[in-house]
């Protein structure tokens, strides 16, 4: 029997503890021992955080009970993201976790919708999406399994306090044998022959050896960058935002089952509703606004009293070209950064952790495992990148330089082609691996004014009156069913009310 | 100003032309789309066969055809897989079965458990755990002549008598209103990349909004200067032989592909005869020598109706201007792995998904060509795997083993060899279970396994193995015999 692999995780935070929970929760102690080094002196980035539905797969795999996790992290439900003033000032659309309408006669719904529109029967495509209608009315309930039922056509994710989530995972991991060491890494020793990381020297003087080192040290990239000089591919030319200010406020107004993103003059503002407070922030480009102006703008935009001073965060969009280098694997912000516009941060961490499990090495690391890991992670980053750029690029705003710059910038060919084909004929990209699915692309294209000039010719097989009758029936079914759902606030209170005094009772 | 596509002219012959005509007619059944076929002389001989993977069943469904009934009506036979013999001397023959699902234990691919057990001494081979392979070896079918399909996770592939099949498809297309134009295309009038008019020898001509080249490898509508990317460097066989042998005493449930010194020969049982196809390198084996050796290689004593041909695998850009090449005009594939109709099928589904909305401007071409290129390149990789992993000693086979592989295939072999990891691909025909069957069958066994396997207790693992084998045996017994197609009415 081989000895267990010694895994050392550097850095707590969401990435560190998700990795720790997965390795200690899923692998046996005869396979690996896990040690996590973190320092209470180093802050983590997590504030209020929004997630994607895939998060549930991670929690299930690790063995986390949803209602308990939600209670501990003051979590709420999320059916999508509302985008305000993106594309043009005054616009509002929701990117839902769910479909728009149903295909008829082998033709995707949006082609039929486009046909009806062009024949003079205009309608709002949001009325045919269950997730959007429920969001607009602040309702929530779990989707059902029966695929025939209209309330099976959506999915959900969470808003939670990422700091509390990390704490929750810490307790979970330590109960499963993970050893936590309080301390900071002072230096990294490399094996002179292999170039692998041999050991870490801590501030305390202790030397920590290991077989596999997971870099969860955040933007600093203590191991992958500072020790191994892993190259970084910069995407600032497409995603110009490089700073953020985050500030919590008191809970106010209805508890929305969606995240809100409002485009501002030099970036965008997030609003993430938790049970006990609301997370807010301004993601901006320092090339287009000063820090002071950004702070004033954010504080002036809040819908409730601030609970703290705004906290500054700096970043650079891009990714490590090889997240797995030698015996070091960067997970989370150490492996790359994409702004949280589509809540992909935890998702990308999750992908890295799950991919690591599948490619978990033995004592001798087969390079094919690193190749497989890096290929999977790269694909995810590339996919998300194009989708984010679309939000910036497809705009007709004339009020500020940032939006002019983004509209005129040269975007990746892979995105150009997608936009051109959607404009030409409403064709929506679809792929097997990676985000995002066709409803996501559709909602952003239409929401930001990229409109199809034609629809699939097969849509003409159906009589227009039949199409319209089916569309009307669908809209009515959705509306009636949504009205029977509990409010989001009520649902959260009944299902997972947190330990902190809840102010979820607004609605 | 945009103008919609209303006129489609298909220039071609045989399955490429008629499946395309029928598919487009069906897709636009209730619109005013006009579909015309400029029919070229058939190239099919009495011995010809189309060998297709189960995916053809999906196309049949789109065409409103029942696969079981099509087979019964055309003297074809179902096949649940392909058996490969003599590719790796010293190793037993293996069967690539057409399973539609991968077996998993607690969400972990069963392959990982097998790799571990194998390293600990398990003797049961991979294809014994394939329901499709087991059923194929016992002469079973997932399909019956009355059109009933079994609801198990295997799908039937096809051995089709080529002439009878085309005749059925053609009649069906004509019945639905596809028009036939007779005449040999003499001149193709172009405006830049676009075709403006086709002129016939008798002075007649036709025009259309969209031109489909279904003329096979000649690709007569393609710009003669347009480059054809040859795969000759990877596929050394340049000759093909097609022949017939008498029907087998009982229909086996699979094809049989046998390697010999200069190439391979395939045995494809049909209801009333057995089709034979061989591909070989003329430098290693002459036509007459191969023909003379066939009875010995294939075990079929009387071989008749033999014809010979040349083959040069490769691809050309399928959609240029207002001309779309489908089937053999777009890609010439080796005839391994039941892909005779595959380039056509992929082209058709892509064309229907991206059917041009504007007769004057067709930017769909780029996405179409990219999708087709992915599919055919991965099929090429799949076929090339047989050559790359062969274990024979003759010069032809040693050379086939030594060629520089396409990077996509080289990466796939590395990942699989390390841990049975799949290569993440988009737009791929063969699925992970197909790849596993072929890679393991040729002897590429992963060096390690997924550590998650060890979450499942060892005695539970052994229990699952036994349970799986027992279930396969039981499910195979419940399947109808492939031989039912032999007595099917014509």
How close B108 gets to chain A, by Cα (Å)? 9
Q: Is the pLDDT of residue A351 over 90?
A: yes
Closest by Cβ to B357, choosing from A28, A359, A425: A425
Question: What topology does CATH give the domain B7-77+159-230+316-377?
Answer: FAD/NAD(P)-binding domain (3.50.50)
A328-330, strands of its sheet edge to edge: A179-182, A32-38, A5-10, A212-215, A328-330, A324-325
Q: Identify the residue whose tokens are 């969400």.
A: B107
For B339-348, b/e burial (b = at least 16 CB within 10 A) is: bbbbbbbbbb
Q: How confident is the model at residue B190 (pLDDT cuts 50, 70, 90)?
A: very high
CB contacts of B417 in chain A (<8 Å) are 368
pLDDT digits (tens, 9 = 90+) for A385-425: 999 999 999 999 999 999 999 999 999 999 999 999 999 99
CB contacts of A212 in chain B (<8 Å) are none
Catalytic residue check, A416: no
Whether residues A420 and B363 touch (CB distance < 8 A) is answered with yes
For B351-407, give the DSSP string: HHHT--S-SS--THHHHHHHHHHHHHHHHHHHHHHHHHT----SHHHHHHHHSPPPH
Closest CA to B413 of B450, B394, B386, B453: B386
What letter does residue A309 receive in the DSSP assignment?
Answer: P
pLDDT digits (tens, 9 = 90+) for A417-457: 999 999 999 999 898 898 999 999 999 999 999 999 999 99
Do B110 and B440 touch, CB atoms closer than 8 A?
no
The dihedrals phi and psi of A319, each to the nearest 5 degrees, come to: -150, 155
Question: How much is the pLDDT for B31?
Answer: 94
Alpha carbon distance B417, B425 (integer Å): 17
Residue B115 CB contacts under 8 Å (≥ 6 apart), including other chains: B419, B420, B445, B446, B448, B449
Q: The tokens of A418 are what?
A: 């997608």
Q: Is the pLDDT of residue B161 over 60?
A: yes
How close B304 gets to chain A, by Cα (Å)? 45
Mean pLDDT of A261-269: 98
Question: How much is the pLDDT for A503?
Answer: 44
Q: Identify the residue whose tokens are 């959705």.
A: A478
Strand A185-190 relative to strand A179-182: parallel, antiparallel, unpaired? unpaired
Question: How much is the pLDDT for A505?
Answer: 37
Question: How much is the pLDDT for B474?
Answer: 95
Question: How much is the pLDDT for B183?
Answer: 82
For A57-71, b/e burial (b = at least 16 CB within 10 A) is: ebbebbebeeeebbb
How large a percentage of chain A has pLDDT more than 90?
90
Q: How far apart are the first and last CA of chain A?
A: 59
Residue B362 CB contacts under 8 Å (≥ 6 apart), including other chains: B319, B321, B322, B356
Whether residues A458 and B417 touch (CB distance < 8 A) is answered with no
Question: How much is the pLDDT for A305?
Answer: 95
Whether residues B364 and A425 touch (CB distance < 8 A) is answered with yes
Closest CA to B448 of B105, B113, B103: B113
Q: Is the pLDDT of residue B490 over 90?
A: no
pLDDT digits (tens, 9 = 90+) for B263-307: 999 999 999 999 999 999 999 999 999 999 999 999 988 999 999
Residue A192 CB contacts under 8 Å (≥ 6 apart), including other chains: none
Q: Is the pLDDT of residue B455 over 70?
A: yes
Closest by Cβ to A427, choosing from B5, B29, B354: B354
Q: Identify the residue whose tokens are 């539970």.
A: B460
For B166-223, give the DSSP string: HHHHHHHHHHTT-EEE---EEEEEEETTEEEEEEETTS-EE--SEEEEESGGG-TTS-
- Would you list which residues of chain B are within 8 Å, Cβ to Cβ, of chain A? 2, 4-5, 27-31, 33, 352, 354-355, 357-358, 361, 363-364, 366-367, 411, 414-415, 417-419, 421, 423-426, 447-448, 450-452, 454-455
Q: How confident is the model at residue B2 (pLDDT cuts 50, 70, 90)?
A: confident
Whether residues A26 and B452 touch (CB distance < 8 A) is answered with yes
ipTM of the complex, rounded to two decimals? 0.92
Question: How much is the pLDDT for B101?
Answer: 87
Question: How much is the pLDDT for B225?
Answer: 67
Return the residue in B5, B421, B426 with the most chain A beta carbons within 10 A, the one to mutate for interface testing.
B421
Mean pLDDT of B203-211: 96
Q: Is the pLDDT of residue A176 over 90?
A: yes
Helix (H) or strand (E) holding A394: none
Q: Mean pLDDT score of chain B, rounded to an integer?
A: 95
| Domain spans, chain B | 7-77+159-230+316-377, 97-142+379-478, 239-310
How many residues would you count in chain B?
490
CATH for A5-76+160-232+317-383 is: 3.50.50.60
Closest by Cβ to A457, choosing from B31, B411, B414: B31
Q: Is the pLDDT of residue A504 over 70?
A: no
Q: Is the pLDDT of residue B336 over 50?
A: yes
What letter does residue A342 receive in the DSSP assignment?
Answer: G
SS3 annotation, B82-118:
EEEECCCCCCCCEEEECECCCCEECCEEHHHHHHHHH
pLDDT digits (tens, 9 = 90+) for A455-490: 999 999 999 999 999 999 999 999 999 999 999 999
Question: How much is the pLDDT for A47?
Answer: 62
Q: Is the pTM of this model over 0.80?
A: yes
Q: Which CATH number fits domain B239-310: 3.30.70, 1.10.3470, 3.40.50, 3.40.1350?
A: 3.30.70
Question: How much is the pLDDT for A45?
Answer: 53
Question: A6 pairs with which residues across the strands?
Answer: A33
How close A188 gets to chain B, by Cα (Å)? 28
Alpha carbon distance B439, A5 (integer Å): 30
pLDDT digits (tens, 9 = 90+) for B49-100: 999 999 999 999 999 999 999 999 999 999 999 999 999 999 999 999 999 9
CB contacts of A420 in chain B (<8 Å) are 363
Whether residues A368 and B415 touch (CB distance < 8 A) is answered with yes
Question: How much is the pLDDT for A507?
Answer: 33
Closest CA to B134 of B152, B110, B118, B161: B152
Question: How much is the pLDDT for A21?
Answer: 96
CA atoms within a 13 Å half-sphere pointing along the CA-CB vector of B170? 18
Alpha carbon distance B258, B173 (integer Å): 37
Q: Determine which of A242-246, A364-368, B105-109 has the lowest per-residue pLDDT on average.
A: B105-109
Residue B347 CB contacts under 8 Å (≥ 6 apart), including other chains: B20, B318, B324, B325, B326, B327, B330, B372
A367, closest residue in chain B (CA to CA): B418
Closest by Cβ to B451, choosing from A27, A432, A462: A27
Q: Is the pLDDT of residue B410 over 50?
A: yes
CB contacts of B451 in chain A (<8 Å) are 27, 31-32, 357, 360
CB contacts of B454 in chain A (<8 Å) are 28, 30-31
* Helix B407-419 / helix A367-393 crossing angle, nearest 10 deg: 120
Mean pLDDT of A31-41: 92
Question: B8 pairs with which residues across the strands?
Answer: B35, B210
Residue B392 CB contacts under 8 Å (≥ 6 apart), including other chains: B86, B87, B88, B89, B259, B261, B398
Q: The tokens of A118 are what?
A: 């062009």
Catalytic choice (A28, A78, A311, A326): A78
Q: Determine which of A23-27, A326-330, B150-154 has the lowest per-residue pLDDT on average.
A: B150-154
Q: Is the pLDDT of residue A60 over 50?
A: yes
Mean pLDDT of B214-221: 96
Helix (H) or strand (E) holding B19: helix B14-27
CB contacts of B448 in chain A (<8 Å) are 362, 366
A22, closest residue in chain B (CA to CA): B452
Q: How confident is the model at residue B488 (pLDDT cuts 50, 70, 90)?
A: low
Question: How much is the pLDDT for B367?
Answer: 96
Closest by Cβ to B426, choosing from A360, A432, A457: A432
How close A321 gets to chain B, by Cα (Å)? 18
How close B431 gets to chain A, by Cα (Å)? 12
pLDDT digits (tens, 9 = 90+) for A81-135: 999 999 999 999 999 999 999 999 999 999 999 999 999 999 999 999 999 999 9
Q: Is the pLDDT of residue B489 over 70?
A: no
Question: How much is the pLDDT for A40?
Answer: 84
Q: Mean pLDDT score of chain A, rounded to an integer?
A: 94
How close A276 gets to chain B, by Cα (Å)? 37
Whether residues A433 and B452 touch (CB distance < 8 A) is answered with no
Q: How confident is the model at residue B6 (pLDDT cuts 50, 70, 90)?
A: very high
Question: How much is the pLDDT for A500?
Answer: 62
């Amino acid at each position: 029997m081989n000895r267990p692999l010694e895994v050392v995780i550097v850095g707590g935070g969401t990435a560190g503890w998700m990795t720790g929970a997965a390795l200690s929760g899923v692998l046996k102690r005869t396979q690996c021992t896990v040690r996590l080094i973190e320092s209470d002196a180093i802050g983590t980035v997590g504030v209020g955080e929004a997630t994607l539905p895939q998060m549930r797969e991670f929690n299930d795999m690790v063995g986390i009970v949803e209602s308990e996790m939600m209670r501990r992290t003051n979590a709420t439900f999320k059916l999508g993201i509302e985008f305000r003033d993106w594309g043009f000032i005054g616009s509002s659309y929701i990117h839902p976790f769910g479909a728009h309408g149903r295909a008829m006669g082998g033709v995707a719904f949006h082609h039929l919708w486009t046909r009806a529109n062009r024949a003079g029967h205009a309608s709002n495509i949001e009325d045919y999406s269950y997730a959007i209608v429920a969001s607009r009315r602040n309702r929530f309930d779990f989707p059902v399994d029966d695929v025939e039922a209209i309330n099976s056509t959506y999915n959900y994710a969470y808003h939670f306090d990422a700091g509390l989530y990390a704490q929750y995972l810490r307790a979970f991991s330590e109960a499963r044998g993970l050893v936590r060491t309080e301390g900071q890494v002072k230096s990294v020793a490399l094996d002179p022959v292999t170039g692998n990381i041999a050991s870490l020297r801590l501030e305390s003087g202790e030397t920590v050896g290991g077989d596999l080192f997971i870099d969860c040290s955040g933007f600093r990239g203590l191991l992958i960058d500072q020790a191994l000089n892993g190259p970084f591919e910069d995407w600032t030319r497409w995603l110009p935002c490089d700073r953020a200010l985050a500030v919590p406020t008191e809970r106010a107004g209805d508890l929305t089952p969606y995240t809100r993103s409002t485009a501002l003059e030099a970036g965008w503002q997030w609003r993430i509703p938790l049970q006990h407070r609301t997370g807010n922030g301004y993601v901006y480009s320092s090339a287009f606004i000063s820090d002071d102006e950004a702070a004033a703008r954010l504080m002036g935009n809040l819908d409730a009293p601030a609970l703290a001073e705004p906290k500054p965060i700096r970043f650079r969009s891009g990714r490590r070209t090889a997240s797995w280098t030698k015996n070091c694997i960067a997970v989370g912000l150490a492996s790359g950064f994409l702004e949280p516009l589509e809540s992909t941060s935890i998702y990308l961490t999750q992908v890295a952790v799950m991919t690591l499990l599948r490619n978990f090495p033995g004592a001798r690391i087969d390079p094919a495992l690193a190749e497989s890991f890096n290929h999977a992670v790269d694909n995810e980053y590339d996919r998300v990148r194009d989708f984010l750029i679309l939000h910036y690029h497809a705009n007709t705003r004339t009020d500020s330089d940032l939006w002019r710059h983004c509209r005129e910038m040269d975007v990746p060919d892979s995105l150009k082609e997608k936009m051109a084909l959607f404009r030409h004929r409403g064709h929506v990209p679809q792929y097997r691996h990676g985000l995002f699915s066709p409803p996501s692309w559709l909602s952003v294209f239409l929401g930001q004014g990229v409109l199809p000039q034609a629809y699939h010719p097969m849509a003409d097989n159906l009589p227009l009156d039949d199409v319209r009758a089916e569309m009307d029936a669908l809209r009515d079914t959705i509306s009636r069913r949504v009205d029977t759902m509990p409010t989001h606030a009520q649902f959260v209170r009944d299902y997972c009310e947190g330990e902190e005094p809840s102010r979820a009772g607004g609605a | 100003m945009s103008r919609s596509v209303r006129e489609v002219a298909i220039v071609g012959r045989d399955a490429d032309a008629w499946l395309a005509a029928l598919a487009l007619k069906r897709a636009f059944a209730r619109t005013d789309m006009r579909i015309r076929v400029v029919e070229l002389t058939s190239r099919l001989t009495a011995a010809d066969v189309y060998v297709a993977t189960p995916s053809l069943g999906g196309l049949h469904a789109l065409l409103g055809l029942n696969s079981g009934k099509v087979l019964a009506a055309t003297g074809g036979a179902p096949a649940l897989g392909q058996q490969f013999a003599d590719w790796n001397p010293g190793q037993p023959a293996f069967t690539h079965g057409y399973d539609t699902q991968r077996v998993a234990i607690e969400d972990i691919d069963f392959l990982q458990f097998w790799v571990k057990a194998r390293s600990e001494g398990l003797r049961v081979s991979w294809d014994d755990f394939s329901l499709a392979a087991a059923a194929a070896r016992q002469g079973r079918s997932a399909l019956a002549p009355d059109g009933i399909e079994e609801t198990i996770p295997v799908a039937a592939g096809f051995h089709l008598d080529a002439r009878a099949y085309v005749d059925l498809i053609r009649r069906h297309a004509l019945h639905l209103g596809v028009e036939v134009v007779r005449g040999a295309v003499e001149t193709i009038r172009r405006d830049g990349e676009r075709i403006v008019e086709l002129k016939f020898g008798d002075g007649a001509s036709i025009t259309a909004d969209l031109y489909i080249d279904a003329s096979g490898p000649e690709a007569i509508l393609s710009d003669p200067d347009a480059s054809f990317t040859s795969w000759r460097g990877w596929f050394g066989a340049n000759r093909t032989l097609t022949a017939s042998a008498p029907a087998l005493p009982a229909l086996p449930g699979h094809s049989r592909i046998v390697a010999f010194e200069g190439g391979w020969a395939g045995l494809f049982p049909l209801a009333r005869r057995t089709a034979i196809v061989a591909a070989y390198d003329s430098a290693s084996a002459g036509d007459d020598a191969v023909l003379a050796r066939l009875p010995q290689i294939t075990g079929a004593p009387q071989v008749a109706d033999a014809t010979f041909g040349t083959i040069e695998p490769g691809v050309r850009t399928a959609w240029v201007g207002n001309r779309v090449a489908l089937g053999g005009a777009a890609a010439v594939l080796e005839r391994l792995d039941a892909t005779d109709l595959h380039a056509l099928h992929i082209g058709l589904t892509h064309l229907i998904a991206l059917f041009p909305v504007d007769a004057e401007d067709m930017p769909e071409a780029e996405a179409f060509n990219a999708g087709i290129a992915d599919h055919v390149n991965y099929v090429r990789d799949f076929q090339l795997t047989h050559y790359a992993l062969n274990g024979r000693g003759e010069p032809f086979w040693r050379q086939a083993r030594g060629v520089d592989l396409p990077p996509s295939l080289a990466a796939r072999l590395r990942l699989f060899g390390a841990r049975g990891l799949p290569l993440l691909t988009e737009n791929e025909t063969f699925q992970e279970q197909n790849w596993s069957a072929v890679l393991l069958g040729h002897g590429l066994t992963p060096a390690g396994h997924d550590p998650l396997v060890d979450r499942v207790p060892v005695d539970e693992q052994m229990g699952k193995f036994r349970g799986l084998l027992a279930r396969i045996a039981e499910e195979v017994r419940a399947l109808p015999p492939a031989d039912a197609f032999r007595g099917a009415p014509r």
